[in-house]
A and B are shown apart, each in its own frame.
Chain A
Amino acid sequence: MAVIWPLIIFLVVIFVVGVYASRHVQSSSSFIQEYFLGSRELGGFILAMTMAATYGSASSFLSGPGAAYNYGLAWVLLAMSQVATGYFVLMILGKKFAIMSRKYNAITLVDFLFARYKNQFVVVLAALSIIIFLFSAMAAQWIGGARLVESLTGLSYTTALIIFAASVMVYVIIGGFRAVAITDMVQGLIMVAGTIILFVAALKAGGGMEKIMTTLGTENPNLLSPYGNDRSLTPLYISSFWILVGVGVVGLPQVAVRAMSYKNAKAMHRALIIGTIVVGVIMLGMHLIGVMARAIVPGITIGDKVMPELAMTIMPDWLAGIVLAAPMAAIMSTVDSLLLLVSSAVVKDLYLHFINKKAEEKKVKRLSFIVTAVIGIVVFIVALQPPDLIIWLNLFSFGGLEAVFIWPVILGLYWKRANGAGAVASMVIGMFSYIIFHSFYPNVLGMHTVVFPILLSLLSFIAVTLISSRHGMKRA
């Protein structure tokens, strides 16, 4: 029973943050700036935490350590490619993105793309891929969150889902971006603390690192190699994850939008340092814990259960509760950002952009609350009985979105000649080639599926831009 108290306290704290942030929403001079971007006031610490927490999801705390449990240290090596996200995203988008999005008065990533390319197809493609793919990603994370609550509390799946959905929706709806960012900070701190506590406890329970590694080496020496338990992980395959979960993360809308939300250069500088530390500690810690768990609690067959099982076995209930608030926090901090982002795509990118350009502040406000709530409720209904389509779409939500957005964002910032036709081509090619490769020819040449779609979308961007701008010049 003691295991659920930390979770309850956690939910109360999150709720209080939501109420606090909603005061800003009510008093802000520009509702839409505040609600979807926190009025660009994030400081360095919050920025680092919200980037790390939004990025770190169920996979960092449940399925990732589960895979490390099965593959051994090779999977930790793979996971360490994610350290790059801690500094790379902010350095690449960096000051140019911050300056340009202010100049364009862009609130969403789509605003930025439209201001840069002046192309309506870019808006439609971008908004739809955000809505469709992030909606599915959100549903998948809610299912994970509800299953976790279910397994910790013994409540039914439906009740667990209601608790999870209600707590996320309340603070996102009333508090907007500021609530999401501040709760992300709390959640990020819980994630770091949970990682450190569990690591120390596992080290003690296993009788020290040397003993743990010896046990694993006796069971199967390959667990200690960089090739995986069955030597199936090639260096090329592991390296290709640098594209998927390292540098490609620049193209994820939920991460990129944070790179326009900070107050000043100082905040960005602090966030670079803190973000690298936070992402590094979580990724190294959690995945190494997954490997250590194999020596401490052997015989677990379901990957997602490794971390909860380990915590419950080696720690007193109340402490296990604190540690298990970490995956909960990881899931929540991802879905809250996704919920707000999908809502902003509907309200700002579709409604305000196409339907009613001059909607009054009051109307936008009401609409934002309603849309956010409706999306939340629809995700809830979908998560009750997830249709196969959602599960299928979720497979593309990570690599597919990267292939769609990475080049329009990066080339839009740093290549003067980049034009709308090129951006449209790269988005379409990126998405469809990802779906086709994934379905018919996954892991081409032994690399993760994401590699070729990202290359193809770059090539099509450059080719179409050059061809269409030459035409333009001839006509002129």
Chain B
Amino acid sequence: MDRKVQEDPRFKIAKREAWIGIILVIFNFIWWYGFAYGLGSGPVEEYSFVFGLPAWFFYSCVVGLVVMIGLVFFTVKFFFKEVPFDEEGDQR
């Protein structure tokens, strides 16, 4: 009944990149939560330390940050596409 208007190909790219954002934030959360409470829920006396910091903190917050920066760099370099924003890119 309704003629489907061809969707702007740039929107497909935008949608994909938004999904990448969601996947990254979920991964970020799991890493952060997993190391913090996986290693940190025992008694403090039994903690091991890395560079002076409790291991849970070191892996969750310090390494977690480095990993996220690396992942953002990687996804942007390899999965993000450059598209024009102006109307001209739209009217073929």
Contact = CB atoms under 8 A, between A and B. Distances in A.
Contact of B65 (A80, A88, A98, A266): A80
Interface stretch (A106-114, A220-228, A420-428, A453-461): A220-228
B61 to A, nearest CB: 5
Given A221-B45, A269-B82, A284-B61, A102 B87 contact: yes
B15 interface: yes
A280 B69 contact: yes
B76 A273 contact: yes
Nearest to B28: A84
B34 to A, nearest CB: 11
Contacts of A269: 76, 80, 82
B28 A83 contact: yes
Contact of A208 (B32, B41, B52, B72): B52
Interface in B1-16: 8, 10-11, 13-15
A235 interface: yes
Contact of A239 (B25, B33, B81): B33
Given A99-B85, A103-B87, A87 B72 contact: yes
Interface stretch (A53-61, A89-97, A136-144): A89-97
Given A88-B25, A221-B44, A226-B56, A95 B65 contact: no
B60 to A, nearest CB: 7
**Chain B residues touching A, majority SS:** helix
Contacts, number: 137
A209 B40 CA distance: 18
B3 to A, nearest CB: 15
A278 to B, nearest CB: 10
A99 B90 CA distance: 10
Greatest chain A CB density within 10 A among B20, B33, B41 is at: B33
B51 A94 contact: no
Contact of B15 (A96, A209, A266): A96
A163 interface: no
A272 B85 CA distance: 17
A88 B68 CA distance: 11
A94 B72 contact: no
Contacts of A213: 49, 52-54
Contacts of B36: 77, 226, 235
A276 B80 contact: no
B14 A217 contact: no
Interface string A309-328: 00000000000000000000
A226 B56 CA distance: 8
Nearest to A235: B37
A226 B62 contact: no
Contacts of B33: 235, 239
Instruction: Point out which of A210, A212, A225, A284 has the most chain B C-beta atoms below 10 A from its C-beta.
Output: A225
A123 B81 CA distance: 33
A91 B21 contact: yes
Interface in A213-259: 213, 217, 221-222, 224-226, 235, 239, 242, 246-247
Contacts of B32: 77, 80-81
A91 B14 CA distance: 8
A106 B41 CA distance: 49
Contacts of B41: 226
Nearest to A410: B18
A265 interface: yes
A443 interface: no
Given A99-B90, A221-B44, 6 more contacts: A76-B57, A77-B32, A77-B61, A213-B54, A226-B57, A414-B15
Interface of A: 73, 76-77, 80-81, 83-84, 86-88, 91-92, 94-96, 98-99, 102-103, 208-213, 217, 221-222, 224-226, 235, 239, 242, 246-247, 264-266, 269, 272-273, 276-277, 280, 284, 414
10 contacts: A83-B65, A87-B25, A87-B68, A91-B17, A94-B14, A102-B86, A208-B52, A213-B53, A224-B44, A265-B82
Rank and list the top 3 A-B pairs by shortest CB-CB distance, nearest first. Answer: A91-B21, A209-B52, A210-B52
